[in-house]
Amino acid sequence: MHRGCTPLHHADCKPIFDIWKDTVLLKTSRVTPLLKKANLCKNDLNNYRPISSLKVLFKTIERVGFSQINEYLHRNNPMAEKQSAYRKFHSTETALLRVYNDLLQAVDHHQDAALILLDFSGLLIRSTMTFYFIAYMIATALVGQLLIGSLRISATEFRQLTSMVSVR
């Protein structure tokens, strides 16, 4: 398996993901809206903060699952070296500084540099083919076939991502 890909369905992780099957009652919470500040208008729903109260058993299972996943990540180190997400002492600022530094180094070495920022938030509810079409259009418009390899994503991974964020 490629070192940059986290194996979500690895044999060590299977028991962790099996816990979450058929736990709808455990994951059901009671949401209580609390006013953010006492002086705010009570008729405006934007002035409320939703507080959810989950069952104690679910919170315990969640903590056990988190510790098992954390232990697996430390033991096997499946994350890429330069990955900033989901790591201790790595934040959005760390990632931005790394990108900024890479761009400055490219300019210092008289190399071409391009930063492409794509918003895929609305794309998750659309088809995989839309993603491939957008990736292909960007690749051919900017630098030809060179960029396609770095934007390639397998259809099964994208479907899993789509199903994980789908609203029911």
pLDDT of residue 5: 43
Beta partners for residue 35, in sequence order: 48
pLDDT of residue 31: 74
Q: Rounded to the nearest 5°, which phi and psi values hold at 52?
A: -105, 140
Contacts of 102 (CB under 8 A, 6+ apart): 113
Q: 151 in helix, strand or coil?
A: helix
Q: Distance (Å, rounded) from C-alpha 25 to C-alpha 32? A: 18
pLDDT of residue 163: 31
Q: Distance (Å, rounded) from C-alpha 44 to C-alpha 27? A: 28
pLDDT of residue 105: 93
Q: 98 and 84 in contact (C-beta within 8 Å)?
A: yes
Q: To 10 degrees, what angle do helices 128-142 and 155-164 make? A: 120
pLDDT of residue 51: 78
pLDDT digits (tens, 9 = 90+) for 57-84: 677 777 887 787 778 777 887 777 777 7
In the chain, which residues have pLDDT < 70?
A: 1-29, 54-55, 57, 85-86, 118-168
Residue given tokens 């008729």 in the structure block: 43
pTM higher than 0.75: no
Contacts of 161 (CB under 8 A, 6+ apart): 124
Of 107, 108, 110, 118, nearest to 141 by C-alpha is 118
